[in-house]
Amino acid sequence: MQPTDLLPHRPPFLFVDEIDEIVPGESARGRWTLSGDEWFFAGHFPGRPTLPGVLMTEAIAQVGALAVLADERFSGKLPLFGGLDKARFRRQVGPGDTLVLEVEMGRLSARAGKGAGRALLDGEVACECELLFVVVDA
């Protein structure tokens, strides 16, 4: 299965290359490998390309969306960010790095949900956050 089989996101705003595991409505794990050719590296920062933290949280949210959209209750729906809590950025990420993205869903109702996720670089936490989202018709 490809991320685009479930996610509506497309390049240049698709931040999941591979799906490692999905438990519908409960959890998902995926990967994002940064080639160095991504549009944001040119300006963030010249001479020291660094993945913006906000894009790490978006990548985590996209993996959370995979867990939600894999659940048949949410077929034809679209999970949207409702909030982001307790975001922490612990490691710099740059060209050539591969992030392992993990999300565990907490509360999940017909119209909203909450989850917690993290991005790992070489087994160490690069980013972690709590996600709040609403589910709308696609």
Q: What is the pLDDT of residues 14-33, one digit of tens each?
A: 999 999 999 999 999 999 99
The pLDDT of residue 9: 96
The pLDDT of residue 138: 86
For the chain, the farthest-separated pair of C-alpha atoms sits apart, in whole angstroms, at 46
- Which tokens hold the place of 60? 């985590």
Please give the model's pTM, rounded to 2 decimal places.
0.97
Q: In one letter, which amino acid is 111?
A: R
Residue 9 dihedral angles phi and psi, to the nearest 5°: -65, 145
CA–CA separation, 73 and 69 (whole Å): 8
Residue burial 100-137, b: 16+ Cβ < 10 Å; e: rest:
bbbbebeebeeeebbbbbbbbbeeeebbbbebbbebee
Q: Which helix (H) or strand (E) holds 56?
A: helix 53-69
- Which tokens hold the place of 133? 């989202």
Look up 9 and say whether it is catalytic: no
How would residue 117 be classed by pLDDT, with cut points 50, 70 and 90? Answer: very high
Which residue among the candidates 14, 17, 18, 44 is catalytic per the annotation? 44
